[in-house]
Chain A
Amino acid sequence: MTDPAVALEKITKTFPVPFQRRVIVALRDVSLRVSTGEIYGLLGPNGSGKSTTLKIILGLVSPTRGQVQIFGHDAASAQSRANVGFLPESPYFPKYLTAAEMLSFYGKLCGMRRRELAKRVDELLELVGLTAARDRRLGTFSKGMLQRIGLAQAVINEPEMVVLDEPTAGVDPAGTRVIRDLILELKRRGVTILLSSHLLGQVQEICDRIGILANGALVRDGRVDELLIAPDQTELVLEHASPQLVDRISKAAAEGGASVIRAAPRHRSLEQVFLEATTEK
């Protein structure tokens, strides 16, 4: 039997409020499982506990109650992180290092050797489109560039799982696409991905399963396709349909005991329009 990539068992996390008796309850009895090889998306409003959940998984924060296992190892042990890469939200990296130095520093922390690192660093810089910024100090990087180099850092040792806290926050649409493609590429290689995001459209597009946190409780958890099905509705998209044809379909539907809820021109997504406009020659 293989261990799941992540198993949270009834996790509760409270933060004490300084100088008061009150505590902030960040997570209440959250149980969650991420299987190997899937993309799991964590959704929820600001302050609902997404980042806290991810930090607990990485052993950066210890849960008040409950069990966390990463590939069968206790999350508190450094061993559990040997095969995990992490991109924190709004990442900051040592400002005084250049992009290439930073990647090799994190590689060394993962126990990589100098020779294999040199190759891997070039490869990753190319992959996230930062080859030109290779020898620039991170202090001069824009938010989106930091996010990209952060992603490169997370996968430096080819981990079996990557945990990404809002990987596309502050990244332009083209960069977002790069990151999305990278995530899909990782999945193709069998890497488990756990991410949090506010971009529902993207989560819907790339995730296999999602969980929704509200106020520290996991209120939904399941496969995206199953969660999104409106059980009693069917979608029909027509091309070149005349108003008369739509009329006829409505009538036919009424005869069959159904009703057409909406018949209007189909809209493209803003992302499609934006990308079309900005990549035009």
Chain B
Amino acid sequence: MSGRRPVVSLRRINAIALNTFTELTRLKVFYFLLLFALLLIGSSALMARITFQQELQVLKDVALGAMSIFASLLAILATARLLPQDVEDRTIYTILAKPVERFEYLAGKLGGVLLLLALSVLLMSVVFFVVLFLRQQTLLAETARQMTGLPSAEAADAQANIRHAGVTTTLVLAIVIIYCKAALLASLTLFISTFATTNIFTIVTTVFVYFIGHLQGTAREYWLQNAGSTVGRRLFLGAIALFFPDLQLFNVVDDVAAGAVVPVTLFAKTAGLGVAYTAIYLLFAWAVFYRKEL
């Protein structure tokens, strides 16, 4: 019983994360969302066929778009109500009355959402990959049949093109990026919910930050170009960037869907950005929450 206890206990964070995960998976709304996402991804093959061209490209575009939207939506909606619900139900009294640091409580809550997101993204990926693989096999068989009379070099070329558009490492990396973005949004939502008075405020503010994050890169370039770049302006922009991440980097996913070649360093940079902001927002949340009256 005696002896110094560690400042942060992974075991307690773990317990809270698993409990949060249980809470979220026992909500019916989660299954509706997930089912809807899976249906959409599953039917991406149908949608792609209507276009007659670049079929696999369109399929990937639809599926990755659906995954990105649902992961982000799930991150925001699932996180927004976590803290307010605990405060309203007063379960937070019983949890914090145990030897639990407030940081552990927040980290546990976020951990639970990250777990849920990981599971959802994994499920969506499996469905996506199965659909993509099946379509690819059919296409390969079809082209092989159509090209029986043509020179073998041309046929091989067409086959290679189709193979290249299937499940690749780049595609997996793009899904990791989607997950990182969702994690960032979850952490941001948690931060906002520590001082928000209503869930609607939390959701609206998060969406607002989301759009600023997408626009800020362009705005920054425009401003520095037209008004000149001084130290003061750079500091100001740096401060803004601390709160609003440059979300445009995450558009790398669209490039992947379009079949562009994306360097691995760009993936690493984007994922790093996601992880860093997830941590920063968690610290912000803690700064607001650690002496908050409940």
> Which A residues form the contact surface with B (CB < 8 A)?
15, 55, 58-62, 78-79, 81-86, 88, 90-97, 101, 105-106, 108-111, 150, 153
Given contacts A60-B294, A93-B91, contact A81 B22 (CB under 8 A): no
Contact across chains for A86 and B15 when beta carbons are under 8 A apart: no
Rounded to whole angstroms, the CA-CA distance of A64 and B90 in the bound complex is: 22
A79 and B94 form a contact (CB under 8 A): no
A83 CA to B97 CA in the complex, in Å? Answer: 10
How close is A181's CB to chain B, nearest CB, in angstroms?
23
Query: B23's contact among A58, A83, A85, A94, by CB below 8 Å, is which?
Result: A94
Q: A111, B12: Cβ atoms under 8 Å?
A: yes
Q: Of the candidates A81, A90, A97, which one forms a contact with B97 in the assembled complex, judged by CB atoms under 8 Å apart?
A: A81
Query: Is B97 a contact partner of A86 (Cβ separation < 8 A)?
Result: yes
> Of residues B5, B27, B97, which shows the largest number of chain A Cβ atoms within 10 Å of its Cβ?
B97
B89 touches A61 (CB 8 A): no
Cβ–Cβ contact B291 & A62, under 8 A? yes
Decide if B89 touches A79 in the complex (CB within 8 Å): no
Interface residues of B in 9-62 (CB under 8 A from A): 9, 11-12, 14-16, 19, 22-23, 26-27
Q: Is the CB of B95 within 8 A of A109?
A: yes
Could you say which of B66-74, B98-106, B253-261, B263-271 contacts chain A? B98-106
Beta-carbon contact of B22 and A97 below 8 Å: yes
Asked if B101 contacts A92 (CB within 8 A), the reply is no
B96 at interface, CB cutoff 8 A: yes
- A153-B9 contact given A62-B291, A78-B100, CB 8 Å threshold: no
Q: Which residues of A contact B16 (CB under 8 A)?
A: 109
Kindly state the separation between the CA atoms of A88 and B90 in the bound complex, as whole angstroms. Answer: 9
Q: Does B293 contact A (CB under 8 A)?
A: yes
Cα distance A64–B11 in the bound complex, in angstroms: 33
Q: Indicate whether A88 sits within 8 Å of B97 (C-beta atoms), given known contacts A94-B91, A108-B15, A109-B12.
A: yes
A61 near B94 (CB under 8 angstroms)?
no
Q: Are B11 and A62 touching (Cβ within 8 A)?
A: no
Cross-chain contact B99 with A108 (CB below 8 angstroms)? no
Q: Is the CB of B90 within 8 A of A92?
A: yes
Closest to A105 in B: B19
Determine if A94 and B19 form an interchain contact, defined as CB atoms under 8 angstroms apart: yes
Whether B93 is near chain A, meaning CB under 8 Å from some CB there, is yes
- CA A213 – CA B291 in complex, angstroms? 26
Nearest residue, chain A, Cβ from B108: A109
Q: Which A residues are CB-close (under 8 A) to B89? A: 92, 94-95
Known contacts A94-B19, A96-B26, A105-B19; is A110 also within 8 Å of B99 by CB? yes
B97 touches A84 (CB 8 A): yes
Contact with A along B226-242 (1 / 0, CB 8 A): 00000000000000000
| Residue among B9, B15, B101, B291 with the highest chain A CB neighbour number at 10 A | B15
Chain B residues with CB under 8 Å of A90's CB are 90
Q: For the A-B complex with A55-B93, A60-B294 known, give 6 more contacts whose Cβ atoms are closer than 8 Å.
A: A60-B96, A78-B99, A94-B19, A97-B22, A109-B15, A109-B99
User: Which chain A residues lie closer than 8 Å to B14 at the CB level?
Assistant: 108
* CB proximity of B24 to chain A, nearest CB, Å: 9
B276 to chain A, nearest CB (A): 27
Residue of A nearest to B20 (CB): A94
The smallest beta-carbon distance between B105 and chain A, in angstroms, is 9
CA–CA, A263 and B5, complex, Å: 63
| B90 lies within 8 A of A81 (CB) | no
A94: B residues at CB distance < 8 A: 19, 23, 89, 91
Q: Do the beta carbons of A111 and B9 come within 8 Å of each other? A: yes
A177 to chain B, nearest CB (A): 24
Across the interface, do B101 and A78 meet the contact criterion of CB distance under 8 Å? Answer: yes
Interchain CB contact under 8 A, B97 and A91: no
12 A-B pairs in the complex with CB atoms less than 8 angstroms apart: A58-B93, A60-B294, A81-B98, A82-B5, A90-B90, A94-B91, A96-B23, A106-B94, A108-B11, A109-B12, A109-B98, A111-B9
**Provided the pairs A79-B5, A96-B23, A105-B15 are in contact, do residues A91 and B100 lie with their beta carbons within 8 angstroms?**
no
Residue B294 contacts which of A61, A83, A150 (CB distance < 8 angstroms)? A61
| In the complex, chain B residues whose CB is within 8 Å of the CB of A111 | 5, 9, 11-12, 99
Give the docked Cα–Cα distance between A59 and B291 (Å). Answer: 10
Q: Is B5 a contact partner of A88 (Cβ separation < 8 A)? A: no
Q: Are B94 and A91 in contact (CB under 8 A)?
A: yes
Task: Provide the residues of chain A in CB contact with B293, threshold 8 Å.
Answer: 15, 61-62
Asked if B23 and A109 make an inter-chain contact with CB atoms under 8 angstroms apart, the answer reads no
A79 to B6, CA, bound (A): 10
The CA of A109 and the CA of B14, in the complex, are separated in Å by 9
Q: Which of B153-187 contact A (CB under 8 A)?
A: none
The 8 closest A-B pairs by CB, nearest first: A108-B15, A86-B97, A109-B98, A96-B26, A82-B99, A92-B89, A81-B99, A88-B93
Question: Is A93 a contact of B94 with CB atoms below 8 Å?
Answer: yes
Q: How far is the CA of A85 from the CA of B93 in the complex (A)?
A: 11
Complex: A153 Cα to B294 Cα, angstroms: 21
A272 to nearest B CB, angstroms? 34
Residues of B within 8 A of A62 (CB): 291, 293
How far is B95's CA from A106's CA once the two chains are assembled, in angstroms?
Answer: 7
